[in-house]
Structure 1
């Protein structure tokens, strides 16, 4: 079980990854994270940004270096990463890379209630999803190839991962559509009957009751 971190918001990890480059004030940090596309890699809640920065300072993960003023703008505090913050960043990154975490994608949620849809409708919807996935895969390949012209692969590995996940999902959806279209999908007749008659087949009712009894 992962240890409880002093500041568990992934935004904190993003801030540490920015400050490891050089000391910055919060506005610079936010601009850097947006420029690097970190909000595409992590679920960053920008509304809590300054609260996260203050909490990190409180817990000794970052420390104020100086306060600066540019023109008539309010005074800004420049922060640096501390030794404790560096250790936390490395440990956190290692945990994220090494330890699979249970996630709840929207697609999985939809699949969990797939039976509420008619199988013909499911086939249509999955074909639409497959079109979008194939478009995403093509765009992701082009984007990765373009970035590889100017950036080391090390800084693009998350794009490789996104591409691999999209390709794997597209392959799985394609195979599911093929089973539904050919009629080879197990229990397809019962599923179709439930929607066309408005009555749950006895086989499915009994299965649901057995499953509930074992919980």
Structure 2
């Protein structure tokens, strides 16, 4: 399988083509309108790479050429029977089988102690504030999408999942920040972990 056809964007594009044939520019516009750019990276280069890979696999095929005004003609793609089967099989496998993912935060938080007690609490509080802002934005975007009446809830169901996960993360981050600030989270003797620690801003001020 072509590497680009394994990109998460491939699933999103095939999902759109399950609805109706589209040209790549329309695919990108619909994905952004539905907030899919929160779960898949959408840019011109990657989108056209994935479209070419899907066509190379025989999963999509050109079905028409359309011209709008003075713009160049655009190729409209449709999902093939083989593409539909591949799409359904991939979805079924991905939904049934949880996979361990490795977000950047998971790696960073493993070394939380390197920030020092005050630095760790400060960093966690800042993350919590940014999470709250992002959650509020995503909630508003989801409300607006559903209120328009043009987007069925099932088409944005992943936005609900993302919000649920973000709220859970916010709750955890706030709880750990509270434990760090109150001293209820056991901390290495001397306030620094072994193996070399990054001094907190508080430590730097004390040394000056």
User: What TM-score, normalized by structure 2, do the two folds share?
Assistant: 0.77
The separation in 2 between residues aligned to 1:86 and 1:11, in whole angstroms, is 15
- Whether the 8 Å contact between 2:23 and 2:75 is mirrored in structure 1 is yes
The separation in 1 between residues aligned to 2:124 and 2:113, in whole angstroms, is 14
Out of 113, 120, 131, the residue aligned to residue 129 of structure 2 is: 131
Alignment match, 1:209: none
- Whether the 8 Å contact between 2:59 and 2:81 is mirrored in structure 1 is yes
Alignment match, 1:12: 10
Unaligned runs of 5+ in 2: 198-208
Aligned residues: 192
Q: CA 1:144 to 1:77, structure 2 compared with 1: closer, same or farther past 3 Å?
A: closer
User: What TM-score, normalized by structure 1, do the two folds share?
Assistant: 0.75
Deviation of the 1:20 alpha carbon: 1.6
Q: CA 1:77 to 1:124, structure 2 compared with 1: closer, same or farther past 3 Å?
A: closer
Q: Deviations over 1:50-75 (max 9, x none)?
A: 23222222221012223344555434
Q: CA 1:56 to 1:135, structure 2 compared with 1: closer, same or farther past 3 Å?
A: closer
The separation in 2 between residues aligned to 1:79 and 1:193, in whole angstroms, is 58
Q: Deviations over 1:172-203 (max 9, x none)?
A: 112212221222212x15151559xx8xxxxx
The separation in 1 between residues aligned to 2:133 and 2:126, in whole angstroms, is 11
- Whether the 8 Å contact between 2:124 and 2:177 is mirrored in structure 1 is yes
Q: CA 1:16 to 1:98, structure 2 compared with 1: closer, same or farther past 3 Å?
A: same
Range with greater deviation from structure 2 (41-50 or 170-179): 41-50
Alignment match, 1:171: 171
3-state SS of the aligned residue for 1:79? Answer: strand
The separation in 1 between residues aligned to 2:74 and 2:129, in whole angstroms, is 48
3-state SS of the aligned residue for 2:64? Answer: strand
Q: Are 1:190 and 2:189 an aligned pair?
A: yes
Q: Which has the higher contact order (CA 8 A, sep 6+)?
A: 2
Q: Deviations over 1:47-106 (max 9, x none)?
A: 132232222222210122233445554343322110111111112222222222222222
The separation in 1 between residues aligned to 2:44 and 2:94, in whole angstroms, is 21
Alignment match, 1:122: 120
Superposed counterparts of 1:49-88, under 5 Å: 49-70=47-68, 72-88=70-86
Alpha-carbon RMSD across the aligned residues, in angstroms, is: 2.7
The separation in 2 between residues aligned to 1:48 and 1:35, in whole angstroms, is 18
Give the number of the structure whose alpha-carbon radius of gyration is greater.
1
- Whether the 8 Å contact between 1:130 and 1:174 is mirrored in structure 2 is yes
Unaligned runs of 5+ in 1: 199-215
The separation in 2 between residues aligned to 1:112 and 1:160, in whole angstroms, is 28
3-state SS of the aligned residue for 2:82? Answer: helix
